Amino acid sequence: MAIVKISDLPLVSSPVEGTDLFVVVQDNVTKKAYASDIQTYVGFEEVQTATAGQTVFNLTTMTYAAGANNLMVFVDGVNQYEGSSYTETDNNTVTFSQGLHEGALVKFSTVQTQTSQVASAGAVTFLQAGTGAVPRSVQSKERDIVSVKDFGAVGDGVTDDTAAIQAALTAAKCVDFGGNENSYKIDGTLTVSSDAIIKGCGATVTQTASNTILFDADNADNVTVTGLNLVGVGTDFIDSDASQAIAIYAPNGSNLRVVGNKFSDFSYTTVSANNTTDIEFTDNNVVGPGSPILTSVTSGANYGFLADTGCNRVLVSNNTISQTAQGVRIAGSSNVVIDSNIIHNIVGQHGVYAGTNVTNLVVSNNVIYNTDLIGIKVQASSVSNNIPSVSIVGNVITNAGDQGILLNSGDGTRKAVRIQNATVTGNSIKDAGATALNIQNVTGGVVSSNSVFDAGTNGVNLSACDYITVEANTIIGTGENGITDQYGNTNLLVLNNRLHNCSSDNTPSYNFGIYFGDSEAVTIRGNYVSDANAKMKYGIYVVNYLTTCVTENNIIAQATDYGIRFGNTTDALLSYKNNYLTGTLGPAYNSSALPSVASASTISIPTLATAVKITGTTNIASISATGRTNQIVTLIFADVLTVTDGSNLRLAGNFTSSANDCLTLSCDGTDWYEMARSAN
């Protein structure tokens, strides 16, 4: 008897109830069959040696069905044909038409059906391709993924499939909803457990119960939802964070992946997570209920994505979000990345809103347009700790109804709790309804290489900030000031910015290129400020703290009044030099007085000052050299005194002054050397 094998299995027209569908590979072709269709075939063969001239052969170890065309005959390995070479005499006899030669090897073979009965898929072995694969039953293989239809879901969009789908979710970890031909109606909440994979290829799952969670994954870890079209009620919006109109509710868990889904008409949010770690919300398409369900400016509690208090390591990337009251909402969470999303047509408030206690936040490379209020808002109000590390980089924001980007801890006035180490770089903001870049209560940061076009009010506003560099920004077209302050700032660097056509609204007191009214220790250097609309009154206007202000190497063109103006002419600037006021229509420069130093035995000269007025009559024996290496300064005397050659003064002899006499000195870091003297 030869080997036993599974032959080609035909598909029956309808499966036997309760049997399993499994895969069979035969002759390198994959086929599917039901267990009820398995038949076992047995092969038989017999070999005889011919005598000289022998024609009749009687089979002794096998039989065949004569005339059934299931006998094969070979003579010395050559296939013989029934009718021309031999005849099937009966089930045990074969007669050749010609005698065979002595010693010819004659092989007879046949295949017979051994059984025809139902076989369990658990009894059929499956072996995966590849080294190391181990055999298991076909039944075990088929149960790797469970279809909701295995538990009675219909998917016709009419039948209530809630119970059937819940049964599938309870029975299995990996549940498949199938393709887009399936539409499942849900009336209630589906509970999801840890390690669940909920997937489809475009199948629709529609929540019909108002203000009700669709998938509840509370306290569940390692949950994945992918490839589904999830639909909410849409008309059950309540403007409250108590709303339950949520597609996926996933608090108190870890490793949540929501990838490649479509969401529409969820009146609160697609995903609501709090106290959840490692969240990935990527490649989804979200369409909210929009207008008239949502109301411009006033509607707030409707989100494309929501991560609330206690979330850590959150990635929101490559999604398209529209028609929600806010695109992405983050609060009380750490290590958050919002990257490469398209957020548009926001009916209510903001594109991205990061609220209280968000730390280590990156908002990068998003395209945000048509928001009713702010494009990107980071508002760390009502917090007890400083907010570290905020990066807003490479975003394109167009047609924000209010500000383009807002960083704010509180109401803009100086607060004890602040945003620290902020980077606002490489963003493009066009047609903002108010200030394009509003930076408030930030300590340590860079606002650089941003492009602002046609801001409704200011290009850049700084309020209650410390140690901020505003550098290499391009600002073209503002309703009010190009770069300005609101409340007191300290230690600002305003460097190499290009401003054009600021103050297009020509509003009195808000028609300046660069304006600082209440900021201390400001350096304004290397900026180019121009106006072609004859509406910018001053190119640069500094009102207070002039003794700490450095204004150098700026170019001002076509201001209608002063090119550069200072708040008074009695306070001396720390440094003013190399400014070019070309094309200015009015007075070029409202000069401030020189720094003034009272004479004493040892005097100190203000840092960066290149000329100082010396008052009083006390003789001078030495001058501090701290911080003055390679600097040249001219002393202009207001009265009679003597500067003595000696100590660290290397003079061509004592210098006795009268009013308006000058002495020019150069410092090597230790001593001062006379370069020139004049009696005026």
Task: Convert the pLDDT of each residue in 306-328 to its tens digit.
Answer: 999 999 999 999 999 999 999 99
Q: What is the pLDDT of residue 163?
A: 97
Q: Are 341 and 319 in contact (CB under 8 A)?
A: yes
pLDDT bucket at 585, cuts 50 / 70 / 90: low
Tokens representing 519? 């900021």
Sign of CA dihedral 31, 33, 35, 38: negative
Q: Are 423 and 472 in contact (CB under 8 A)?
A: no
pLDDT, the chain, mean: 88
- Going by their DSSP bridges, the two strands 649-650 and 632-637 should be labelled as unpaired
Helix or strand run (H / E) with residue 219: none
Contact residues for 398 (Cβ-Cβ < 8 A; gap 6+) = 368, 369, 370, 429, 430, 431
Is the pLDDT at 587 greater than 60? The verdict is no
Long-range CB pairs of 615-619, under 8 A, 24+ apart, other chains included: 615/639, 616/641, 617/641, 619/643, 619/644
Cα–Cα distance for residue pair 202/155, rounded to 1 Å: 12
DSSP E strands: which ranges in 117-203? Answer: 125-126, 136-137, 146-147, 156-160, 174-179, 183-186, 190-191, 197-201
pLDDT tens digits along 62-82 = 888 888 888 899 999 999 999
Is the pLDDT at 6 greater than 80? The verdict is no
pLDDT tens digits along 159-176 = 999 999 999 999 999 999
Q: Which residue has the tokens 């350096």?
A: 523
- Mean pLDDT over 39-44 rounds to 67
Is the pLDDT at 121 greater than 90? The verdict is no
pTM above 0.85, yes or no: no
Q: What is the pLDDT of residue 586?
A: 59
Contact residues for 27 (Cβ-Cβ < 8 A; gap 6+) = 8
- Mean pLDDT over 589-612 rounds to 80
Is the pLDDT at 266 greater than 60? The verdict is yes
Contact residues for 513 (Cβ-Cβ < 8 A; gap 6+) = 481, 482, 483, 499, 502, 503, 527, 529, 531, 536, 538, 539, 540, 556, 559
The order of strands in the sheet holding 78-80 is: 4-6, 39-49, 105-116, 71-75, 78-80
Tokens representing 406? 């807002």
Q: What is the DSSP letter of 506?
A: -
Q: Which of 186-195, 257-266, 575-584, 637-646 has the lowest mean pLDDT?
A: 575-584
- Mean pLDDT over 327-351 rounds to 97
DSSP E strands: which ranges in 81-173? Answer: 86-90, 93-100, 105-116, 125-126, 136-137, 146-147, 156-160
Q: Which residue has the tokens 């490839």?
A: 227
Q: What is the pLDDT of residue 593?
A: 64
Going by C-alpha positions, the residue among 424, 300, 413 that lies closest to residue 350 is 300
Tokens representing 19? 């049997």
pLDDT bucket at 189, cuts 50 / 70 / 90: very high
**Strand, helix or coil for residue 145:** coil
Residue 172 CA: distances (Å) to CA of 149, 169, 182, 205, 480: 13, 6, 20, 18, 62
pLDDT tens digits along 380-416 = 765 567 788 899 999 999 999 999 999 987 666 777 6
Q: What is the DSSP letter of 165?
A: H
Is the pLDDT at 592 greater than 90? The verdict is no
